[in-house]
Amino acid sequence: MNPTISREDCAARDVADVLAPLREQFELPAGVVYLDGNSLGALPAATSARLQQVLAVEWGRGLIRSWNDAGWIGMAQRVGDKIARLVGAAPGELVAADSTSVNLYKVLAAAATIAREDGASRRVIVAERSNFPTDLYIAESVARQHGMDLELLEFDDIEARLRDDVAVLTVTQVHYRSGRMADMARLCARARAAGVLTVWDLAHSAGAVPVDLNGAGADFAVGCGYKYLNGGPGAPGFCWVHARHLARLRQPLTGWMGHAAPFAFEPGYRPAPGIERCLCGTPPILGLGALECGVDTVLAAEPLGGMQALRAKSVQLSQCFIELARQRLLPAGCTLQSPADPRQRGSQVSLGVAPDSGIDAYAAMQALIARGVVGDYRAGDGSAAGPHLLRFGFTPLYTRFVDVFDAVHALHEVLQGAEWRQPRFAARAAVT
Amino acid sequence: MNPTISREDCAARDVADVLAPLREQFELPAGVVYLDGNSLGALPAATSARLQQVLAVEWGRGLIRSWNDAGWIGMAQRVGDKIARLVGAAPGELVAADSTSVNLYKVLAAAATIAREDGASRRVIVAERSNFPTDLYIAESVARQHGMDLELLEFDDIEARLRDDVAVLTVTQVHYRSGRMADMARLCARARAAGVLTVWDLAHSAGAVPVDLNGAGADFAVGCGYKYLNGGPGAPGFCWVHARHLARLRQPLTGWMGHAAPFAFEPGYRPAPGIERCLCGTPPILGLGALECGVDTVLAAEPLGGMQALRAKSVQLSQCFIELARQRLLPAGCTLQSPADPRQRGSQVSLGVAPDSGIDAYAAMQALIARGVVGDYRAGDGSAAGPHLLRFGFTPLYTRFVDVFDAVHALHEVLQGAEWRQPRFAARAAVT
């Protein structure tokens, strides 16, 4: 079947796209259609020069003096304030620091402590069973340390579980496998009505979809710097705490940067009055420098409509992908594993390949990558209900409509031509 | 008084120094004598090109594929193995990750858990009262979480306190203020005899003095990447665990990189069999790349005698400084605040300026820095017994004997000429 959307249609949409110039902010390799920005964002063109400045001028020449003269000492806050603009937080409410996992530990522990102070009967942490594993592992640890139980539920069962024995609910807003987007405002309202604190992981939403933490009445949030924020591999994450909790917030990673007076060298810990109490060790300046460049690429959309405009394009890209996939990929053995309704979907689309389909999904993705289309593969859980996934992220800052067309076309050829059967595509890499 | 060591003597020692060529590994600013490598190591010449490679080639072109193709996924271990060679650890025993504070939290919590399992009566964590504050703050948090007491002692009182109610002793081997170096083997032996676990902070010793963790029989260690390891501002730290503890080690920061099978995406946490169980979030690749270049500058001394040769030069540098200081600076109002015996001293010398001396020590350091000699200032505790400190670190990789001469000469002029009285030197910066 010929697609109802032609490559020319897609090219025309790119020409009409007011966000198209934002792509020039990135160093994208020639001949590659990169649809894995939901795993590792692309390199901003500004990052190399900025890091060179940090290295040669600030570190090399300024040496120790750059903690003051180059503003290193305030970078966690400065970059945090920029991220805040993307997630509905106010200046001074968010810091960039540590990894997402470490930040999740801080805020989950803080939430558990507050919940316990407010009512000894609240002793359950609720999480989504299929959440990204690091979230579950950290929740498991916090639950153990606080004498609480961790209950893992299907997403659709969470609301009904928010009763008066539940201390904390932790959810990743956009699911890493399916791209399902939770209704943050609704879940926060239900949780608040039940006296349950919410901890949001924005790994797949910050910079991808409009987020309004304060508007939704969320309690805590963490997020990732290296996906849609384009901060580079292993970039610092971030954490946010609603102002109503800050004064009583205690988190266990009480390093010196979280102290009220880090350079007074007092023997006892006194937390900083603000969000700085969520800082721990010395800020990672190279990582923060690169992260700032990445966040700036998203903020560059502000004069063009900001996150709302990026979201509108993201929906158009993913709808285009789904329409083309329906015509060319579902008949070839794939299934749509992301919500069809864009209001319930983040900025990615996942296609399923059933284990009994006869298609080696891992090899198919490798064959696709060999054709220059980079998505990623996530193994299913082995059950018929858990197909292997071919995951495609749409980053409206640099993904074009022709990229969507070319990706579907290439995957169609890979599946039709049984290219994936070539032995060279079957070898598993360490990171899948 | 004319110094008994002339600048010509120092220049001759530099000419004769077989380690002198190692200085060429660094980008040092012209006209600066940098004696603050104990706070922030200098920029290695290789770092800019390496980071450019990570950015432009690995991230920019390789994108997500570089987790495998560029070996990112094993960087924490690879850099850890290099650091291991400097601290008497075996390959596979040490990882580079997170900040020193976060790593200290991991191993202190692990040690407290093991100690508690071994005997419920052990409920005290002992630390040195004047340790670097972040160590005390983290110990305070771990003690609270484990229902233990934190006892802060003077260093000389520690040995006698190692009785059967003590669970863990945590010490920074080389003291950040005085440069006092603890006898690791002796303290480990006393602690082991008393059934006390030792947690060592190597912030001021890794890359500065020979360390033999396995030889000393230490239990746990952490360290800093941005001081003598030259990893750059806020570089990742490291942590090490003695092999005898690894199988039962549990630490609370149970992120996915510490899992036995991170890419199996299992819902429950199973710690990796090795030191990887001390990893948490996604490794910070830019920071690790720079740290590797820094560690390589120290490893470059291996063909020239390694840490033993570096130590010998470090002692010569600091002895030279002390001799010159005795002649020119102590008469001008300074006191020697570091141990005179080099066997009890790390790679720094601290001079004291009494609060009632009439000299503004902060301003004096600023005036010295204005003359191109960079040391740092650490405020006293306000008591007569706690003078303000002028701290000078000697990094044998790049510090020359003429630098030592020039530093003493410049400080002598600053003190004699009362240059420090100029108002421009009195203004406090955020980071001191």
ipTM given for this complex: 0.97
CB–CB contact A432 B253 (8 Å): no
Q: How confident is the model at residue B362, as a pLDDT?
A: 95
User: How many angstroms separate the Cα of B141 from the Cα of each of A118, A256, B112, B135, B281?
Assistant: 21, 12, 12, 10, 21
Q: How confident is the model at residue A12, as a pLDDT?
A: 98
Residues of A in Cβ contact (< 8 Å) with B96: none
HSE (side-chain half, CA atoms, 13 Å) at B101: 27
Q: Which of B28, B256, B369 is best to mutate for the A interface (most A CBs within 10 A)?
A: B256
What class has domain B71-299?
alpha beta
3-state helix, strand, coil in chain B (%, to 5): 45, 15, 40
Q: Cβ of A74: how many Cβ atoms within 10 Å?
A: 15
- Please tell me which residue of chain B has the smallest CA distance to A74: B430
Query: Do the domains at A7-43+305-425 and A71-299 have one common CATH topology?
Result: no
For B252-275, what is each residue's pLDDT tens digit? 999 999 999 999 989 899 999 999
Ranges of residues in chain A whose predicted pLDDT is under 50 = none
Residue A26: phi and psi, rounded to 5, are -120, 150
Give residue A239's identity as a one-letter amino acid code.
C
- Cβ contacts of A221 within 8 Å, gap of 6 or more: A87, A89, A107, A199, A200, A201, A202, A213, A239, A240
Is A82 among the catalytic positions? Answer: no
The answer to whether the beta carbons of residues A350 and A337 sit under 8 Å apart is: yes
Domain ranges of chain B: 7-44+306-425, 71-299
Q: How confident is the model at residue B219, as a pLDDT?
A: 98
Residue B12 CA to its chain's centroid (Å): 30
- A–B: how many Cβ contacts below 8 A? 282
CB–CB contact A265 B61 (8 Å): no
Q: Which of B51, B138, B142 lies closest to A255 in CB terms? A: B138
Q: Which of B42, B100, B265 lies closest to A133 in CB terms? A: B265
CB–CB contact A267 B234 (8 Å): no
Ranges of residues in chain B whose predicted pLDDT is under 50 = none
Sign of the C-alpha dihedral, residues B224, B227, B231, B233? positive
CB–CB contact A133 B43 (8 Å): no
d(C-alpha A122, C-alpha A119), whole Å:
6
Cross-sheet strand order for the sheet of B94-97: B94-97, B237-241, B220-223, B197-201, B166-172, B124-128, B149-153
Closest CA to B234 of A266, A417, A409, A96: A96
- Please tell me which residue of chain B has the smallest CA distance to A35: B64
CB–CB contact A63 B55 (8 Å): no
d(C-alpha A223, C-alpha A203), whole Å:
5
Distance from CA of B4 to the nearest CA of A (A): 32
- A200 forms beta bridges with A171, A221
Q: How confident is the model at residue B88, as a pLDDT?
A: 98
Kindly list the catalytic residues of B.
132, 201, 226-227, 391
DSSP secondary structure code for residue A181 in this structure: B
d(C-alpha B194, C-alpha B185), whole Å:
14
Q: Which of A175, A228, A253 is best to mutate for the B interface (most B CBs within 10 A)?
A: A253
The answer to whether the beta carbons of residues A369 and A425 sit under 8 Å apart is: no
Q: Cβ of B384: how many Cβ atoms within 10 Å?
A: 10
Is A226 among the catalytic positions? Answer: yes
- Please tell me which residue of chain A has the smallest CA distance to B26: A60
Strands, DSSP E only, in B179-308?
Answer: 197-201, 220-223, 237-241
B7-44+306-425: CATH superfamily: Aspartate Aminotransferase, domain 1 (3.90.1150.10)
Percent of chain A residues topping a pLDDT of 90: 92
Residues of B in Cβ contact (< 8 Å) with A137: 254-256, 258-259, 268-269
Closest CA to A159 of A198, A122, A130: A198
Was domain A7-43+305-425 assigned CATH 3.90.1150.10?
A: yes
CB–CB contact B105 A252 (8 Å): yes
CB–CB contact B281 A47 (8 Å): no
- Please tell me which residue of chain B has the smallest CA distance to A26: B60
The answer to whether the beta carbons of residues B225 and B294 sit under 8 Å apart is: yes
d(C-alpha A320, C-alpha A10), whole Å:
9
Distance from CA of B235 to the nearest CA of A (A): 6
Q: Cβ of B264: how many Cβ atoms within 10 Å?
A: 12
User: How many angstroms separate the Cα of A213 from the Cα of each of A226, A250, B254, B341?
Assistant: 20, 20, 26, 58
Give residue B121's identity as a one-letter amino acid code.
S
- Strands B94-97 and B376-378 turn out to be unpaired
DSSP secondary structure code for residue B349 in this structure: E
Q: How confident is the model at residue A69, as a pLDDT?
A: 96
CB–CB contact B226 A56 (8 Å): no
Residue A117's Cβ-count burial label (10 Å; 0-12, 13-18, 19+) is exposed
HSE (side-chain half, CA atoms, 13 Å) at A157: 9
Residue A371: phi and psi, rounded to 5, are -85, 0
Residues of A in Cβ contact (< 8 Å) with B225: none
